[in-house]
Structure 1
Amino acid sequence: MVDIIVVLIVVVLLGFALKGSIKHFKGDSPCCGGGSGTVVLDIPDKKLDKPVLGKKVLKISGMHCEHCVKAVTEAINKIDGASAKVNLSENEAVVSYDRELDEEQIRRIVKDAGYRVVSIK
């Protein structure tokens, strides 16, 4: 009888953990700053000093919500000569640049923000 009670407690705890994980990956988790559905954050556009030379498209893994988008945008925008537009539904960032960019620097700064660049085109 005690074994059944222990198993039921474990099942209930796993259920709560699964529910929390699903909310997190949908962007509704408080740890992502969510909790009230879709969140629209004010992310200012970064203006480049010189004319745009080109654009790079980064596929990024690990983004779950608009707070993740803001974190990636702010990280990339810290790079001199780079301006990012991040799209959560596409899991990508389009980076406009006015000078040559070091792709390893981009990968490193995105990683330092807690995400991973899967590819750069």
Structure 2
Amino acid sequence: MESIIILLVIAVIAIIAIINYIKKMKSGSSCCCEGSEIIKKVKIKDKNKKNYPYKKVIKIGGMSCTKCAQIIENNFNKIEGIYARIDFDNEEAVILSKKELEGKVLEDVIKESGYRYYIK
């Protein structure tokens, strides 16, 4: 009798966990940016791409939504002399800069944002 009660309790817990997981997946709130938090875009002072002679294209792994991409883009665009655009669909960043950037700078910004960096 005790075994049946324990099995029923385990089954109920499993069903509740599955229902919660399905709700989370349907709502799209399965990433770091849960809820309806609005992420303000960092404004670039100089949007003229001709003023940025250096260009790097890098792969970024671990983004699960466009808010993730916006967080990374903002962290790049906070740096003076950088104009970055993140393409969430291709998991890629195009980084324009006014001076040559070391790979370590790019890697640090991505890692500090909580994502993975790949050289392309």
Report the TM-score, using the length of structure 2 for normalisation. 0.74
Q: CA RMSD in A?
A: 2.9
Contact in 1 for aligned 2:69/2:86 (Cα 8 Å): yes
The yes-or-no answer on 1:102 pairing with 2:102 is yes
- Give the aligned partner of residue 57 of structure 1: 57
SS of residue in 2 equivalent to 1:64: coil
Counterpart-to-counterpart distance in 1, 2:61 and 2:33: 15
Counterpart-to-counterpart distance in 2, 1:109 and 1:2: 52
Q: Output the amino acid matched with 1:73.
A: E
CA deviation digits over 1:45-64, x for unaligned, max 9?
A: 52268722131111111211
Contact in 1 for aligned 2:42/2:74 (Cα 8 Å): no
Segments of structure 2 that go 5 or more residues without pairing to the other structure are none
**Is the alpha carbon distance of 1:61 and 1:68 closer, same or farther for their aligned partners in structure 2, counting shifts above 3 Å?**
same
Segments of structure 1 that go 5 or more residues without pairing to the other structure are none
Contact in 2 for aligned 1:48/1:98 (Cα 8 Å): no
- Identical pairs, percent: 28
- Give the aligned partner of residue 3 of structure 1: 6
Q: Output the amino acid matched with 1:94.
A: V
Contact in 2 for aligned 1:83/1:97 (Cα 8 Å): yes
Deviation at 1:7, TM superposition (A): 2.3
**Is the alpha carbon distance of 1:103 and 1:21 closer, same or farther for their aligned partners in structure 2, counting shifts above 3 Å?**
farther
Counterpart-to-counterpart distance in 2, 1:116 and 1:106: 11
Give the length in aligned residue pairs: 113
CA deviation digits over 1:16-48, x for unaligned, max 9?
A: 353256357xxx21852456xxxx976355226
